[in-house]
Amino acid sequence: MTDKLIIFDTTLRDGEQSPGASMTRDEKLRIARQLERLKVDVIEAGFAASSNGDFEAVQLIANNIKDSTVCSLSRANDRDIARAAEALKGANRARIHTFIATSPLHMEKKLRMTPEQVLEQAKQSVRFARNLVADIEFSPEDGYRSDVDFLCRVLEAVIKEGATTLNIPDTVGYAVPELYGNFIKTLRERVPNSDKAIWSVHCHNDLGMAVANSLAGVKIGGARQIECTINGLGERAGNCSLEEVVMAVKTRKDYFGLELGIDTTHILAASRMVSQTTGFVVQPNKAVVGANAFAHASGIHQDGVLKARDTYEIMRAEDVGWSANKIVLGKLSGRNAFKQRLQELGVSLDSETELNNAFARFKELADRKSEIFDEDILALVSDESAAGEQEEYGFVSLSQTSETGEQPKASIVITVAGTEKRSSATGNGPVDASLKAIESLVQSGAEMVLYSVNAISGSTESQGEVTVRLQNSGRVVNGVGADPDIVVASAKAYLSALNKLHSKSERVAAQG
C-alpha cells in the first residue's frame, strides 16, 4: 500500500449542491486555481452533463489547470460519460467519475432496477469510459447501506473493466467511524482484485462525523483517497472538511504515517475565497480556519502560549496561512501593486477593462477606509465580476433615514433591464425599508430564508459582507454584497440574489 494520501476536492461539484451555493463559471475557475495552488491532487470540477453551464465550467477548468487532475462526475450512462470526456479534452490529466446506486432502497425506489441490471450497467459504463480516458473512478452511490455480497460483486466487476479508483460513499451520513473503517476493510479483503485500484472514502456530515469517518476509512480500512470540500461545504450538513482532514493527517503523522502533497499555507486563502464566493460564512470556532481557531481568551492559556507555544497550540497558525492576514494595500498603492496582489490571491481578470474597473473600485474603497485587507479585495473583485455579467437588476444609489422613535425610510435607485427606476419605502429598520423599496419595484414574490451579516475584517471600519438567501418556486439562491455601509451591502446582496433567480440557470441533483 502506498503511503501517499490523495486529496480529492469536490467543492466545485458536491459543495455547489448546497442550497444557493451555485457559482458562475469564472468563480469556479478562480477557486480551481486556488485549489491548484493548494496542490490538491484531484479537482472535481462539476457534472458536465447536468447543464450547458456546468459543461462550460468543467471545460474551462480542464483547459486552465495544469498541475491537478481535473475530474467530471457522470451518471452510469453513455451520454453522461461522453459529455464528461468531451469537457475534459483539454486537461493535462483527466478523470471520469461515474456512479450508480447499489443500496436496496435506492435500486428499488429511485432507479427501479434489479441488482443484476445495476451490475450490468456499472460494468458497461466503466468499460465505455475506459475507452475515452485512462483514469476512471467508480462510486456505488449509498454504498455504505448496500448489501456487502452484492457490493463486492459490483466492485470486482468494475475493476476488471478498468476502474482505477473505487469510492465508497456514506451518501446520507449514516456511518460511525469504527463501523465505516471496518466496512472498507471488509470490502478490500473480500474483493479478489482489490489491490488493482485505489480505494477512496466520501463521507457526509449529517451526524457530525464526516471527518472522523473518513480518517477511519483511511486508518482502519486502508483507503488512500479522501473526498472532501473546503469549509466542509455541501448539501444538508455538508461534506468532510478538507482543512480538517489535511491538518489531522499532518499534525498526527505519528499515528497515520501518511504523506500529503498539500501546501497547507494556502488553506486559509481557499477557505476565505469559497466563503466569500458562496456566501456561506465560516463560524468563528471552526477548526483550522475559524476566526477563533488560534485565539486564546483564558488567562491560563494565554500565559502558557506566551511561555511555550506548544502548551496549547498543536499547529502553527502560519502553517495554514494565518500569517497572510495583514494589511496589504492602502490609498497610495498603485495599479501594479494592486494587480500583483490579485495574482497572489489567485484572481485573474479577463481584460484590461476589468482590471481598470476593479482598480477604480479599490481606490474608491481606499478613500473610505484606510486599511485594505485581502478579504476586502476578494469581495471587491467578486462585486466587479458580478457587475460584468449581464444582469437584470443593478444597484445605483441609496439614501435612508433612521431616528429613534421614528419609522426608518429608504429611497433607492436601481436599474431594471438597463433602465433606472426609483422607489421609497418604510420598514422596521433601514435594511428592511431598503429591501422593501427594491421589492416594490421588482415584485419578485421571493421568500427570504436567510439574512446574515459578517464583518470582513476586524474593526468598526470593516466592510460588511451580507448574505441573502431567497426561495421562489422551489429554487433557492444566495446573494452576497459587500460595502462599508451595511444597508448598501444588504441592498447589493438582495439584488445579487434576485439576479440569480432571474437567470433560471439549470441545476441537476447529483451523487452525494
Tell me, yes or no, whether 350 and 396 share the same domain.
no
Mean pLDDT, the chain, rounded, equals 88
Give the end of a domain, one of 233, 262, 278.
278
What residue type is 169 in one-letter code? P
Give residue 303's pLDDT band: very low, low, confident or very high (50, 70, 90).
Answer: low
**At a CB cut-off of 8 Å and minimum separation 6, what does 404 contact?**
none
pLDDT at 2 over 70: no
Residue at 96 is within a domain: yes
Q: What is the band of 328 on the pLDDT scale with cuts at 50, 70, 90?
A: low
**What pLDDT sits at residue 305?**
46
Task: Please give the residue range of the domain that contains residue 373.
Answer: 335-387
Give the pLDDT confidence score for residue 274 in this predicted structure: 92
Question: What's residue 390's pLDDT?
Answer: 59
CATH code of 465's domain: 3.30.160.270
Per residue in 107-149, pLDDT (tens digit) is 999 999 999 999 999 999 999 999 999 999 999 999 999 999 9
Is the pLDDT at 288 greater than 80, yes or no?
yes
Sign of CA dihedral 181, 182, 185, 187: negative
Predicted confidence (pLDDT) at residue 459 exceeds the cutoff of 90:
no
Quote the percentage of the chain above a pLDDT of 70.
88
pLDDT over 90 percentage in the chain: 64
Residue 130 CA, chain-centre distance (Å), reads 28
State residue 338's pLDDT score: 83
Domain contains 57: yes
Q: Which residues are CB-neighbours of 349 under 8 A, at least 6 positions away?
A: 342, 355, 358, 381, 384
Distance of alpha carbon 57 from the chain centroid: 14
d(CA 366, CA 372): 7
Tell me: pLDDT of 311 over 70: no
Residue 35 neighbours by CB distance under 10 Å: 30
Which pLDDT tens digit goes with each residue over 204-230?
A: 999 999 999 999 999 999 999 999 999
Which of 355, 370, 387 delimits the end of a domain?
A: 387
- Count of domains forming the chain: 3
Residue 376 and residue 401 in one domain:
no
249 shares its domain with 352: no
- Per-residue pLDDT of 391-425, as tens digits, reads 889 999 999 999 999 999 999 999 999 999 999 99
Residue-wise pLDDT tens digits, 333-356: 788 888 887 777 767 676 788 888
